[in-house]
Each structure stands twice: as C-alpha cells, then as structure tokens.
Structure 1
Amino acid sequence: MAVTKRGLLLASTAVAVSAVTITGAGIHLSEGQAFFQESPKGLVDEVWQIIDRTYVDGSFNKVDWKATRTEYLNKPYTNKEQAYKAVREMLKKLGDPYTRFMDPQEFKNMQIDTSGELSGVGIQLAADEKTKKLTVIAPIEDSPAFAAGILAKDIITKIDAKSTEGMDVNQAVTLIRGVAGTSVKLTVLRGGKQLEYQLKRAKIEIHPVRASYQKDANGGGIGYIRLVQFSAPAPIEMKNAIEKLEKQNVSGYILDLRSNPGGLLFTSVEIARMWLKQGAIVSTVDRKGEREREQANNRALTDKPLVILVDGGSASASEILSGALQDNKRATLVGTKTFGKGLVQSVRGLGDGSGLAVTIAKYLTPLGRDINKNGINPDIEVKLSDEQRQALSGDRNKIGTAADPQYAKALEVLTQRIKAQQPTVPKS
C-alpha cells in the first residue's frame, strides 16, 4: 500500500463540493474486500491499522490508540452502517478534520477527476481546525458560487435552512451536491454579517491555467498567468503558457494564485521547477522526521522577473509554490496572507467501496517554515475591501486588469524589477 508521489493530496482540498483533487494514482485498494463483506468488524480494524502505521501524529492526539482498538473491536456490529458509525467515532478522537472516512457514495465522489466536467456549485470546503465550523477555502472560477459572490473564509452556517452546527464536511457535501439545474440555499457568516445565497447547481468545466500577453507601462509586454487549481493537467497547461509567452518575448511575469485552494502535491513541485533553476522546493515530514525533499532540476523555462499574487484563498499547493519561490528569492509575493494549510494526505480504498483519507505528513518550505495554521506573508501587502472583492468576483473580466488593485500593485513591482535588471547604458 505504498503511497506514490503523484497521488499525494494537500489537506486544504480534502473535500470539494464540485471537484476533487485526486487522480487514480492516489487511491489504494484494500486487500480486505472479501473479508469486510463477511465481517463489518474487519473494516474497523483495517482503518485502525492504517492509522496506526501512517498517521502523521505518533501520539494520536494524545489518545491511547491501542486502547481505542480494543474498545471498538469489542463492540458488536451487525451491519456496515454500524461499522461506518464506529469508524467515524474512532477517527474523531484524532481531532483532525482531514483524516476522514467516506462511505461508498462519498468515496465515489472523491474519485471524480479534476480534468473532467463536474457538477455542483463550485466551492472548496474544509472544517476550521480551531472552531470546526464549515469554512469556504475558495470558490471555483466560473462556478455558481463564484458568480454569486461567495468568498474565501466565508462560514457556512445553514444549508437549505438546516444548521451546520456539529455537521462534518462529508455531510455538508452530500447536502450541497445535486443534479445540475436544481437549487440549494446557503447561509454564510462573513465578518459578523449573515448572508444568503440561492445557488443553482451546474456542470463546471475547469481549465486550471489561463494566460495572456499584456502591455506594461513602458510599452513592453508581460505575461499574466492565472492558475486556479493544481490538478493533473495543470503542469502541461502551465508549460504551454510559459513557452508561448516566451516566444512573444515578454519581459516578466505575474503569476496569480489568488483563491487557488491547492490540489496535487507533485503538481506543485513540477510547476515550481518551471520557474526555479536550482534550490529546494519543499520537504515533507512524517512522524519519523523528514520523509522527502524535492529539488529544482535545472529545467526552468524562464529566469525573467516574477511577481506572485496571493490571498487568503491561496492554500496548500499554492503555498508550496509561493513559499518555494519566495524562500529562493525567485519571486516577490504581493497580496495578503495565505490560508495556512500544510498537511499531506493519502487516499485509500476499503472493503465494500468505502474509502479513507489519512493525514500522513506536513510540509515545510525550503527555509523550514511550517505553513500549517501560519500561512505565508506576502513581501508587499495589498488588502482588498469586501466591496472590491465582490466587484472582482462579480465581474471576472476585471481580474488581472487596472481595475484589480492587487494586480495593479503587482504590475508596478514587476516593472521595477524589470528595470533593475536592465543593463545601464554609460553616459558619453
């Protein structure tokens, strides 16, 4: 049941209402399928064994994990629903919203590939680690949630008038997902204000990379690249975008990671290598210490000046990429502090088609910064008001233009960096 690098997940994208950030490489099928169908207790023990071997916290949240096994194996189970309930109770002791059990339908939802057409409202959800409240990590661009103005950090308090108090993320996803064309009402809390959104579910096609050639203040050209998700096709789309812009002889780049909730770990590493010639990118640390360190491999596609836009919706894989380029002094970060999610998961298939997501490691930036719960601070802070954010959410065409205050600042910073690298002409 080895975990492949390409199958590793970053925890902030653990549950997506309209998308899932895993590919088949991240799913590990259980050898105990036949046994489970005869013995629901077998599933309980299998989950316990996986946690015992791989969970990132060797203290198991200061829980006597061996006693927990005894407790739950001594209970009678007459059907799989009882086993499912017991597994969820057992995992709750870990205090980790990202280590979670999925019944067969939930697990099937998790296996939707991010390159395909998806059905939902387009929000990435997580349970806040401190408050346990259902929190929006980021809306997906061109989705109903994005168009309606739902923002990162919004707290979902009701789903169709049903309170989310004490509700886990999987329950929320089940309530929010549905057939395209049907509606769901979300009540959110934002800065002390309660807001209601009536959303119509839709099919959502996600293209992770959007790029354009833009004129700078000096009449030259710069490359603007917006990366909305670290999905499986993102590296090839990023490579194509950079190569096309290089042929157009741009002088520098703005890479926009705002509201990017993350995705596949190895995708972030591959993309970092396109910008960074040498140096460390990220290290993953499990309960035994450093597990692996990823390095640049001298295959950068460009060495031109780079500014990265980040905000509170930039999470996990976005933080790996921006942290690596900031630590290596390859890029200047503009915007606001990132989300602060630095946990890595593997996803495993179990028994009758159910599944288990397990937090197996955390990641550190090249300089050893632990981003989990801390986030990354930009080099230059530019905050947006709620009105400005809503204006950009309501009119996507304004993003990456002069009407976008953070982009305008990034362009100013990039222009300065380009000038600083130009050779000085001696005076005669």
Structure 2
Amino acid sequence: MSNSVAKKIMYGVLIFLIVISVLISTSVVYLLATNHGNLGQVITVFTLIKSQSIQDISTRELIEGSVSGMVEALKDPYSVYLDKTTYDTLQERMRGTYGGVGLLITKDAEGRLVVVSPFRGTPAHRAGVAAGDFITKINDENTADMELETAASLMQGEPGTEVTITIYREGRDPRDVTIIREIITIPSVDGEILAEEPDIAYINLSMFNENTGEELQRHMDELRAEGFKALILDMRNNPGGSLHAAIEVADQFIPEGPVVHIVSKFKTNTFEAKGPAIDVPVVVLVNSGSASASEIVAGAIQDTGVGILVGEKTFGKGLVQSLFPIGDGAALKLTTARYLTPGERDINEKGIEPDIEIILTPEETFEALQDAPDPANDPQLQKAIEIIKTKIN
C-alpha cells in the first residue's frame, strides 16, 4: 500500500472519530442542558443518601436502584432490569430446564400478578393452579407492586424445597397452595396418533424454546411415517417464548409468504415462510393461556387459511422483548417492538378470536389437559376431531 493511500485511510478514520466524538459530546451537552434540574436532583439524592441515611447501602446498590427505577418509569410489565441471578434464571428457562414450579406469569392492567398458564405436567399444574388465577402472596410476601422477574425468582429454587403461593380466582376465596419444587424440564413438543382416530395426528406444543423447531420437525417426520391424514395442533396454555422458534414452527405449516411483521420504533421487519404449506387439514386448539409466540403461529395459520382455530380467545400479548446485557452479568429486558399477523392484525391486549368458540371453566381445562389427549374429557378436542373428520378425503 502506498504512503498516499495509507494517509487517506488514516485521514478518513480520523474524520470519522471526530464526527462520532462531536455527536456524543452534543448529546451529552443537550442532556445536561435540557435536564440539568433533574440531574441535579439525582446528584443531591445520591449525596444525601450516602451522607445522611441511617441505612448502609453501597454505591452499586444505589446505581442498580436508579437503573431499575428508570425501567419502571416505562410502566411496561414486560420491561425490567435483570440482576445477574435473575438473568441467569431467565436464560435457564429459555434453555428449557430450571428448578421451580412450572408457571408463566404476567401482570394485568391493574398491576396484579396473574397466571398466564401452568406448564403441563409440572408441580403447579398438578396442584390445580390455572390460567387466570391471581397470585397475591409468595411465601407470605405480598405481590402488590412486585416485579415479574422477582416473583418468578421467588418461586424458583432448589428441587425438593417448598414454596407456598396464595391464589385468588374470581368468585372464590383466596387459598394457599404449597408446592414442592422440581427440576422443570419441559420437552416443548409431544406427538402421537390419536388412539381412537388412526387418521388424525395430535401434536402438543407446550412452549417455544431454542429446540422447538427441531423437535417439531422430528415429531412430524415420525408421524408422517405412520400415514396420518389430518393434524390437530394443541397450543392451549402455551405461554410462548422464542420468536425465532415461532417462525420455525409456522414455517412448517403455512405457504410461502409472511409469518409475522415486527414493527419497531424505526422500521418494520417481515419474517417469511419458505413454503410449501402443510398438505393435510389442520385444526389448532387455543385458549386464554395461549400467548406471545403461540399467538404468532395461531395468527399465521388463521390468516393464511391453512387451518381452523377452535377454543377460546388467546391471551393477547403482541409485544416483542429484546435482551441487552449491560455488564456485570446484568441485563435489560426491554419491549422493543410489537408484532402483527401476516394480515397485519395487531392482537396486543385483544387476543385472537377462534373460528369456533368453545369456552371451558378452569376446572374443565385442568381436567382436559391433565393427561394424554382424551376427547371424552375434552370438549374442545372433541370439537376439533368432529371438524377435521369432515375434511379427511
């Protein structure tokens, strides 16, 4: 490389660094100029706490508190500061294994802690905790104003240890439920040919983790070898999970075209299926515990006309969270986008209406999802079979 070319490159790099420095300096100056009063309050409060408070608190704890407070100012139950312990726990859950009771929780519009769904076969599910139950206490600690990740962390712990939660269901008195924690290993996909219907395959998706797409493909291949003519996809009480997994799952059902539109502050990304569509009739089972990634799949199947949705209106979580590691093992979980179905429906806080509605009580749902699929104890599954038999050639 000649000296003249090298000088031009160095000059270009220098100009770039100068521009970046100016932009950063301008941003800081603007922040200070427009918020000098509030920033002064922050410094004053910090100084008073360190010098006057009777409580001994570290600078690290104060900084963590200020970061957490900034996130809380968003008033978004899905955005939260995650300390190292909580972030590690979240990563374990996404890998599909952790010690706990097996619940997915959220907050409603009034800030109450509510169960989205229990994972099938877990201690919470066996104890009768149901979608829609409110959790008012965890080990006698009131959950009012408690962060979601804190609540989840309190219910997780060493297998064999106990946790007591107080649940309230509309029209019922609050009751304490003591649950023994277990290793929660959740195979996200299970499949079989229905015992009394040899032409119908049944696949249950319990959640969406990093292995779900691959697991589904394996089950589909095994069931195809048995020659099914129709498929029931059960996503009841599926709380969601990985966006990438939802796209992989939808890709195995719908034709070439959009799976989901992700709308952020600055742009819209459309994720597309490669096609072709599945070549057998499909019925999808959903309920109020079907949320997030399961709604992406259900919405894609409904919008493309690939299948019929049977059951109850879904939960209505149409927001996408991103994880940002911020050092020292901590992270920020932040709502960064909303998603739209292929037909550009915004389902957040609205849910997806099934094509055929069959509403079950929490007790009926518990009974229906307790063991292997049994139409005799499951009116929604029974209806799905009835519909799908009319479509088998």
Which TM bucket (shorter chain)?
A: 0.7 to 0.9
2:128 is aligned to 149
**1:184 pairs with 2:154:** no
CA distance, structure 2, for counterparts of residue 118 and residue 210 of structure 1: 19
Distance 1:292 1:214, change over 3 A: same
Paired letter, 2:211: P
Paired letter, 1:396: D
2:273 is aligned to 296
Q: Of residues 345, 356, 365 in structure 2, which corresponds to 1:380?
A: 356
SS in structure 1 at match of 2:375: coil
**1:76 pairs with 2:46:** yes
CA distance, structure 2, for counterparts of residue 390 and residue 324 of structure 1: 27
**1:250 pairs with 2:228:** yes
Under a length normalisation based on structure 1, what TM-score does the superposition of the two structures give? 0.77
2:52 is aligned to none
2:4 is aligned to none
- Corresponding residue pairs, total: 352
Distance 1:376 1:408, change over 3 A: same
Paired letter, 1:111: Q
CA distance, structure 2, for counterparts of residue 110 and residue 200 of structure 1: 20
SS in structure 1 at match of 2:137: strand
CA distance, structure 2, for counterparts of residue 374 and residue 272 of structure 1: 21
Q: Measure how far apart 1:331 and its partner are.
A: 0.7
Larger Cα-atom Rg: 2
Do the aligned residues in 2 keep the contact of 1:142 with 1:204 (CA within 8 Å)? no
1:234 is aligned to 212
CA distance, structure 2, for counterparts of residue 305 and residue 345 of structure 1: 33
Q: Of residues 383, 389, 392 in structure 2, which corresponds to 1:415?
A: 389
SS in structure 2 at match of 1:207: coil
Do the aligned residues in 2 keep the contact of 1:279 with 1:328 (CA within 8 Å)? no
CA distance, structure 2, for counterparts of residue 413 and residue 69 of structure 1: 63
Under a length normalisation based on structure 2, what TM-score does the superposition of the two structures give? 0.84
Determine what percentage of the aligned residue pairs are the same residue: 36
**1:396 pairs with 2:366:** no
Paired letter, 1:295: E
Q: Measure how far apart 1:390 and its partner are.
A: 3.1
Deviations 1:268-314 (A, max 9, x none): 1111111112232110001234x2111221254x3100000000000
CA distance, structure 2, for counterparts of residue 403 and residue 210 of structure 1: 19
CA distance, structure 2, for counterparts of residue 341 and residue 145 of structure 1: 22
1:15 is aligned to none
SS in structure 2 at match of 1:402: helix
CA distance, structure 2, for counterparts of residue 65 and residue 342 of structure 1: 33
1:132 is aligned to 111
Q: Measure how far apart 1:389 and its partner are.
A: 2.1
Structure 2 unaligned segments of length 5 or more: list them: 1-26, 48-57
Q: Of residues 320, 330, 333 in structure 1, which corresponds to 2:296?
A: 320
CA distance, structure 2, for counterparts of residue 274 and residue 264 of structure 1: 16
SS in structure 2 at match of 1:187: strand
Structure 1 unaligned segments of length 5 or more: list them: 1-47, 53-63, 423-428
SS in structure 1 at match of 2:376: coil
SS in structure 1 at match of 2:335: strand
Do the aligned residues in 2 keep the contact of 1:256 with 1:309 (CA within 8 Å)? yes
Map of 1:7-406 to 2, 5 A cutoff? Answer: 72=42, 76=46, 79-112=59-92, 114-128=94-108, 130-193=109-172, 194-214=174-194, 220-289=198-267, 291-300=268-277, 302-393=278-369, 395-397=370-372, 399-406=373-380
Deviations 1:56-99 (A, max 9, x none): xxxxxxxx999877764675376111111111211111111111
CA distance, structure 2, for counterparts of residue 148 and residue 96 of structure 1: 30
CA distance, structure 1, for counterparts of residue 316 and residue 234 of structure 2: 17
SS in structure 2 at match of 1:242: helix
CA distance, structure 2, for counterparts of residue 205 and residue 135 of structure 1: 22
Do the aligned residues in 1 keep the contact of 2:208 with 2:245 (CA within 8 Å)? yes
CA distance, structure 2, for counterparts of residue 174 and residue 267 of structure 1: 24
1:27 is aligned to none
2:21 is aligned to none
Do the aligned residues in 1 keep the contact of 2:189 with 2:216 (CA within 8 Å)? yes
Deviations 1:369-391 (A, max 9, x none): 11110000000001112331232
CA distance, structure 2, for counterparts of residue 191 and residue 67 of structure 1: 46
Do the aligned residues in 2 keep the contact of 1:140 with 1:146 (CA within 8 Å)? yes
Do the aligned residues in 2 keep the contact of 1:122 with 1:204 (CA within 8 Å)? yes
Do the aligned residues in 2 keep the contact of 1:188 with 1:195 (CA within 8 Å)? yes
SS in structure 1 at match of 2:342: coil
**CA RMSD after TM alignment:** 2.3
Q: Measure how far apart 1:225 and its partner are.
A: 0.2
CA distance, structure 2, for counterparts of residue 80 and residue 203 of structure 1: 33
CA distance, structure 1, for counterparts of residue 227 and residue 131 of structure 2: 35
**Is the deviation greater in 64-73 or in 110-119?**
64-73
Higher relative contact order, chain-length normalized (CA < 8 Å, sep 6+): 1
CA distance, structure 1, for counterparts of residue 36 and residue 351 of structure 2: 34
1:28 is aligned to none
CA distance, structure 2, for counterparts of residue 109 and residue 243 of structure 1: 33
**Is the deviation greater in 266-275 or in 165-174?**
165-174
2:55 is aligned to none
Deviations 1:328-362 (A, max 9, x none): 11110000000000111111111222111111100
